[in-house]
Amino acid sequence: MTAYLDNSATTRPTEAVIAAMNEAMREGYFNPSSVYGPAVEAFRHLRACREAILKKLSAPEGTKVIFTSGGTEANNLAILGTVEKMRGKQLLAVNALEHPSVLAAYEKLREMGHEVRVIGADREGEPDWEALGKALEDGASLVSFMQVNNEVGAVLDFRRLRDLVAGRALIHVDGVQGFLRETFSMQYADLYTLSGHKIHAPKGVGALVMRKEVRVAPAHIGGGQEEGLRSGTENTPGIAGLLAAIEEMDASGLMEKKLYMAKRFREAVPEAMVNGPAPEKGARHILNMSFPGVRGETMLHALEAEGVYVSTGSACSSKKRKVSKVLLAMGIEPDRAESAIRFSLSPHTSCEEIDQAADALQKIYPQLRRFQRR
């Protein structure tokens, strides 16, 4: 038996998702831009997915859903596209704990001559609200804060963010780790991004959700699909899978599983330390723990040998780094950050998988600890 506890990296498509995609490829393969009957039906399926997303986000009338290839493209379109439509050099603010697809976009804007304020965070992932307030007073026009941190599970206080911004800037929220696992409403953001493969839909499909008054420059030009912001024939099988995933996603029992996992892991390794918010205060599907004296990469491979799959942080950057930049930005000591492991759940994770991981930790940690660097 294997225990898959890396659902923040990607999730396994469900049978309903696979069936929806299969039907879209076998029967509904028509181009939704064409005007004959079967193509119009394909277009209706796209519309149904947009409507499902808008309903889940309690979006006001006129809110747009732009389909993309995933969260990275959606974040790039949201950030680079909005700033391109602004006049002159801008002051921008971004959370220090953001995903690389967000931070890299802001770094590009900095290289283009815009001023970028990086807003720090404390050891629980709480933003430096005072620093953000100062950036807004100085004229920040766009701010980006993720709904759920992908490494430690810190949850954004989006009400406080909206009240602080108070209409002075556009608010972009990266919802890739939050969509359908934590509640959110578009009344708290101007731009919101999501990715299908984090919620049991396939890879290669995501969306940018944007309020109707927001102006965004296109990332792709050509046939004018997706409100002219993302030309190219839509990924109809992927969108069909996304709709199926949205319709069946139920995260109601995730927090109970997470708290059970935290309890079992602490019993297995009493020395283990939680990084970020306390388990009951963070997102219901992410738990980050450090195992003193054992490098995260070493622990990862030892767990793999026991049939347990985890990660040391963001899957998009884990092959490029030794220590999590997110944990360091939170003020976590380098040795502790180097020994961190992220465990992440889905609604389909079983207690048996958690037990298997706990038993593996109890077995291998004492063995690995003996080889601690001195």
The residues carrying an active-site annotation are 316
Q: What are phi and psi of 114, to 5 degrees?
A: -80, 155
Q: Compute the half-sphere exposure of residue 116: CA atoms within 13 Å on the CB side of its CA.
A: 22
Contact 67, 230 (CB under 8 A): yes
What's the rounded Cα separation, in Å, for the pair 331 and 354?
29
99 Cβ neighbours under 8 A, 6+ residues apart: 71, 75, 146, 150, 174, 176, 314, 316
What's the rounded Cα separation, in Å, for the pair 82 and 355?
46
Contact 79, 142 (CB under 8 A): yes
342 Cβ neighbours under 8 A, 6+ residues apart: 6, 8, 151, 152, 286, 287, 288, 310, 311, 312, 313
Beta bridge partners of 342: 288, 311
**Burial of residue 30, with CB atoms counted within 10 A of its CB: 0-12 exposed, 13-18 middle, 19 or more buried:** middle
What's the gap between Cα 254 and its chain centre?
16
Write 294-299 long-range contacts (CB < 8 A, 24+).
Answer: 294/339, 294/365, 294/368, 294/369, 294/372, 295/338, 295/339, 296/338, 296/339, 296/340, 296/341, 297/322, 298/368, 299/339, 299/341, 299/364, 299/365, 299/368
Instruction: Tabulate helix, strand, coil % of the chain (nearest 5).
Output: 40, 15, 45
In the numeric block, the tokens 């102006």 are attached to: 215
